[in-house]
Amino acid sequence: MGNRPNKWIAGILSFFVPPLGMIFVAQLVWAAIYFFAAIGIVALMFVLMPGSPYAVIFLSFALNVVAAFHSYKLASLYSADKIRPHYSRWYGLLGIYLGTWFVVFGFRSFLFEPFRAPAGSMLPTIEVGSILIAQKWGYGHYGSYGFTPFQQQISAELRRGDILVFDYPDKRSIQYVKRLIGLPGDKITYRDKQLSINGKKIAHRKDGEYINYGNGALPPVYLSRFVEIVDGKEYSVVENEEINRIFPDTISFLFKDKCKYDAQAVTCEVPAGHYYFMGDNRDNSRDSRYWGFVPADHIVGKVVYVMH
C-alpha cells in the first residue's frame, strides 16, 4: 500500500502545477502533455489574445481542473505492487521543482526577460499592455523577480534610439521603458517640440495623425505623428499640438545643476556614467526631462521584441 501515491495529494498538486502532479503519479508523458498545454495557453495570452485576459484565465483554470481529476484517477488506479520511481517521491519532486525554478531564474536573469508596458508613454511604438522581451546579456544587470545577485559593467554597445528597460532612479523596484536619447557627455535640448543632440537638430518629419483611444473610458485623443531619425535609427513619436509644454523646475535629482529650464525648453549635459531617456509620446511621458539622468548600473536590458 505504501507504493501507491496519495490520490488527494495528486489532485491538489495537479490543480496548482499540473506537470508536477503527473510526475507524482509517475506519468512523465502526461506531465509533458500538460506542460506544453500550459505553454500553449501562455502563447495564446501573449500572441493571439492579448486583449482577452479573462479567456486565458478560464482556459488555465479549466486545464488545472482537468489535470486534478485526471491525476486523482491515475493515483486511484496505481497498482499497490508497483514500485514508484525515485523522481515521483517527495525528494524527487522537490528537486525537479527547484531545478526548474533555477533554470527559469537563470534564463530571465542572463538571457531574456518579459515585461509589460503599463502606460502609454511609449506610444505609438509600444501600446499599453504590450509584452516586451528584453535582452539581458551584456547589460550587467543580472537578476529577476526583484532579486539581482549579479551585477557588472555594461559590455553591450548602447546606441541612441535604442529602447531600454531600466530601474527608475529614485526607486529601483520600479522599471521604466524609454528610448535612449543621450549618452555620457551629450548635450540634449528639447525646445518647442524639437529635439537637438550636441547642437544638431534631429530630423523631425510630419507623418499624419495618431488616435489614442486609451482604455475607452475617455474620449479619444488626436495626436500628430512625426518620424525622427537618430544615428540612422528611424522611429515614430506623437505630440499633442494643443499642449505648449512648460517644463517644471521643482523636482530635485542628482546632477540637476547640469540642466537648465525655461518656459519652452530644457537643456541638459549628460554626466559621465549616466544616460538620458525620453518617451515617444512626447507630451505624456515623465522622463529625463523631469526626473533627470539614469545611472549605468540601473539599465536592465534592451527591448528586442514587442508583442502588442
So which residues are the catalytic ones? 121, 178
Bridge pairing between strands 171-182 and 259-261: unpaired
100 phi, psi to nearest 5 deg: -65, -40
* Alpha helices, DSSP H, located in the chain: 7-16, 18-24, 28-43, 53-77, 90-110, 288-291
44 phi, psi to nearest 5 deg: -60, -40
CB 179 within 8 A of CB 235: yes
d(Cα 14, Cα 184) in Å, to the nearest integer? Answer: 52
Helix axes of 53-77 and 7-16: crossing angle, nearest 10 degrees: 160
Q: Which residue has the cell 531600454?
A: 164
| Paired strand residues for 305 | 133
Amino acid (one-letter) located at 116 = R
How would you label 139-174 residue by residue, b for 16+ Cβ within 10 Å and e otherwise? bbbbbbeeebeeeeeeeeebebbbbbbbbebeeeee
Residue 123, all three cell numbers: 506610444
Q: Which helix (DSSP H) or strand (DSSP E) does residue 237 occupy?
A: strand 233-239
Which three-class secondary structure state does DSSP give residue 88?
Answer: helix
Q: How far is CA 259 from CA 177, 221, 250, in A?
A: 22, 31, 12
Q: Which of 157, 159, 163 is nearest to 132 (CA)?
A: 163
